[in-house]
Amino acid sequence: MPRSYRPAVLLGLVMHLAAFWSSASPEYGSLVAAVAPARRRQIVIDAVKALVGG
């Protein structure tokens, strides 16, 4: 059974998922560079689907 999140919480989660990949933090630079942009996009899409139970 999927969990329900309030809209504001869901928005925050989605924003953080997307921001992780565009983070300017040096500690994530090598991780971000190691994953192709198309794959990063798909990861965010899949994660959001999982969050909303889709």
Determine the pLDDT at residue 45.
Answer: 92
Q: How far apart are CA 11 and CA 4, in angstroms?
A: 12
Average pLDDT, the chain: 83
Q: What is the pLDDT of residues 15-32, one digit of tens each?
A: 988 888 776 677 778 888
CA distances from 34 to 5, 12, 24, 30, 44 (A): 31, 25, 15, 6, 16
Q: Answer yes or no: are the C-beta atoms of 51 and 1 closer than 8 Å.
A: no
Q: How far apart are CA 11 and CA 16, in angstroms?
A: 9
Q: Which of 15-19, 31-35, 44-48, 49-53 has the highest mean pLDDT?
A: 44-48
Determine the pLDDT at residue 12.
Answer: 93
